[in-house]
A and B are shown apart, each in its own frame.
Chain A
Amino acid sequence: DVKVTQSSRYLVKRTGEKVFLECVQDMDHENMFWYRQDPGLGLRLIYFSYDVKMKEKGDIPEGYSVSREKKERFSLILESASTNQTSMYLCASRYRGRIPEAFFGQGTRLTVV
């Protein structure tokens, strides 16, 4: 069965902390994505990666960075967490196929206090 796993379901961090959100997929997908979900705004793309060590900025990259050292793992880093980064974070991966849907992790609800 296809699987995208995010390291934490819930996280509480303090303002100014460096935060790592990890995502692992077991499907050998080239493309991986980090989205942020806020009520009334839908899902907004933060960063995506189309290969190891390759990344592209999405719509809201400010305050975030990413790392992809291995194909199966895509990390989202909040360099200095702020309260306006309190949100639900969703990781996804995508393959090239006849029905190229994205597969999502279970989400990480991050609260910055």
Chain B
Amino acid sequence: AQKITQTQPGMFVQEKEAVTLDCTYDTSDQSYGLFWYKQPSSGEMIFLIYQGSYDEQNATEGRYSLNFQKARKSANLVISASQLGDSAMYFCAMSPDQTGANNLFFGTGTRLTVIP
């Protein structure tokens, strides 16, 4: 069975600083995908970044990067140069495939607060 663990219920970061949100996962599958989503107070889920298990390079999307350490089964999200608009819930998720055929399993989330 797949499991996603986010051990930081809440995090604070100073504006313009970088922050790392932790995510570990457990799976016996060889092929899987890892996702990060942002959920602002308005409630919508915004896709941020994706990493496939066979991708050798860490994924990056603008200020977001995914620090993928396969042997440790970790997929931490790094946000550089934090902005006030980054304050939100962040969810790590995993799918036991890289094709879109299956469910996404979510962690419990980390609430990030950016301090001016």
Q: Do A and B come from one complex?
A: yes
Q: Footprint of B on A, CB under 8 Å?
A: 31, 33, 35, 40-45, 48, 50, 58, 88, 90, 92, 94-97, 99-104, 106-107, 109
**Interfacial chain A residues near B42, Cβ < 8 Å:** 106
Q: C-beta contact mask, B12-38 vs A, less than 8 Å → 1, else 0?
A: 000000000000000000000101010
Given A42-B106, A42-B108, residue A96 in contact with residue B43 (CB < 8 A): no
Of all A-B residue pairs in the complex, the 8 with the closest CB atoms, nearest first, are: A100-B100, A104-B45, A96-B100, A43-B106, A42-B108, A101-B47, A107-B43, A42-B106
A/B interface sample: 13 pairs, CB < 8 A: A33-B104, A42-B6, A42-B106, A42-B107, A44-B106, A48-B103, A58-B103, A92-B45, A95-B100, A96-B100, A99-B50, A102-B45, A106-B43
For the A-B complex, the count of residue pairs with Cβ-Cβ distances under 8 Å equals 61
Contact indicator A100/B95 (Cβ below 8 Å): yes
A30 to chain B, nearest CB (A): 8
Report the nearest A residue to B48, measured CB to CB. Answer: A101
In Å, the complex CA distance between A35 and B91 comes to: 14
Given A40-B108, A41-B108, A42-B106, residue A97 in contact with residue B100 (CB < 8 A): yes
Q: Footprint of A on B, CB under 8 Å?
A: 4, 6, 9, 33, 35, 37, 42-45, 47, 50, 91, 93, 95, 97-109
B28 to chain A, nearest CB (A): 18
Contact of B45 among A44, A50, A90, A109 (CB under 8 A): A90
Contact indicator B99/A101 (Cβ below 8 Å): no
**Interfacial chain A residues near B91, Cβ < 8 Å:** 42-43
A88 to chain B, nearest CB (A): 7
* Most B C-beta atoms less than 10 A away, residue of A50, A100, A102: A100
